[in-house]
Amino acid sequence: MSASDILVLAETPRGNLSGMVAELLGAARSLATATGGQVIAVLLSNDGTPFVSGLQGADRIVLVNHPSLAEYSPLPFLAALQAVIQAQTPRAVLIGSTSIGWDIAPLLAARLNAPLALGCQQISIQDGQLAATCSLCGGKMLAEVRIQQAPAILMVLPGNFAPANTPGKAHLETFSPPVELSGGDSAGVVFRQWILPPPGDIDITTQTILVGVGRGIQQKENLEPIQQLAEILGGAVCASRPIVDQGWLPTTRQVGKSGMTVKPKLYLALGISGAPEHVEGMSGSDLIIAVNTDPKAPIFDIADYGVQMDLMDLVEPLTQAIQAKKAR
């Protein structure tokens, strides 16, 4: 029964299978169990073979191999995915809330006139209907939505679904899109090159301790004592997007959707409100301690420990307390 299948877009930006794919497959699996359908992973590239092993959580793997899919570009990707969806007629299409997802999911929904739900944190079938819980308003509101029309395009927030861990024997097939992917409309956006950040700065993704700073630090010069604290902890300072936008820290220190995804042993969040764009980049941290003046800040929803305090009041005593412990 094809209208019960759940399709997952497996992204491979810069030749790496996105870390979100396993989560999407996990989410898709629980849905497919409820609908009685299959999980179909779709991989768009010039040659998808090397990624097949990472997609074993699916029942079927559909590879679309085409030279114009070698690097991501919105229009060829959209055309290819659209063709697969039209051939497979799934119940739902799961796309990560990623840089690529933010292009493809809404374009797909607009082209197909299909329902789209952003920021999905939970997805289920309830009374035979597709239901999702979506985060909006910077994480300050949740919407429970119902979607009847198929296919539903669901943009999934990272960090909310257990990765699929049942390596099955996925059936592998290739799909030749019936459309020309490199010419016509698809030529409107052409990939030119990857631009990497200037080398030299530390790599925050390899740090075991990170001190994250957000808008709450208020002034650039407040970074200095925080840097000292990070140093004493043996970690590094990273930041949410507003701080990087201000030019107070380089983009290499940005955590979140458009920055790095980090999984340190300790993430000390100072003056970070906890917008989903930031949270998705650090929610995998082992221990999260958050300091914020707003008791309702969403960061306290994901933190293990919280402190309602002006962060600058805490930084100095904390630095001293840690120094004292370490000295012993």
Within 142-161, the residues that bind other proteins by CB under 8 A are 142-149
Residue 196 DSSP class: P
Q: Least distance to other proteins from the beta carbon of 136, Å?
A: 5
137 binds other proteins (CB under 8 A): yes
Size of the site for other proteins (CB under 8 A): 108
Q: Is 303 helix (H, G, I), strand (E, B) or coil?
A: coil
Q: Residues 6 or more apart from 187 whose CB is under 8 A from it? A: 75
Nearer to other proteins, 52 or 187 (CB): 187
163 binds other proteins (CB under 8 A): no
Instruction: Please select the residue that binds other proteins; options are 47, 173, 231, 316, rule is CB under 8 A.
Output: 316
Instruction: Please select the residue that binds other proteins; options are 209, 227, 263, 284, rule is CB under 8 A.
Output: 209
**Contact characters 240-279, other proteins, x per CB under 8 A:** -x---xxx--xxx-x--xxxxx---xx-------------
Q: Least distance to other proteins from the beta carbon of 148, Å?
A: 8
Q: Is 218 left (phi over 0), alpha (psi -120 to 50) or beta?
A: left
CA distance 256 to 278: 4
Nearer to other proteins, 176 or 208 (CB): 208
In this structure, the chain runs to a length of 328
- Cα separations (Å) of 196 from 14, 17, 152, 238, 289? 11, 18, 35, 18, 31
Q: Residues 6 or more apart from 144 whose CB is under 8 A from it? A: 131, 132, 133, 134
Nearer to other proteins, 106 or 172 (CB): 106
Nearer to other proteins, 63 or 266 (CB): 266
* C-alpha triplet 49, 51, 55: angle, nearest 5°: 115
Binding segment toward other proteins, per CB under 8 A, in 30-38, 49-57, 58-66, 133-141: 133-141
Q: Least distance to other proteins from the beta carbon of 185, Å?
A: 8
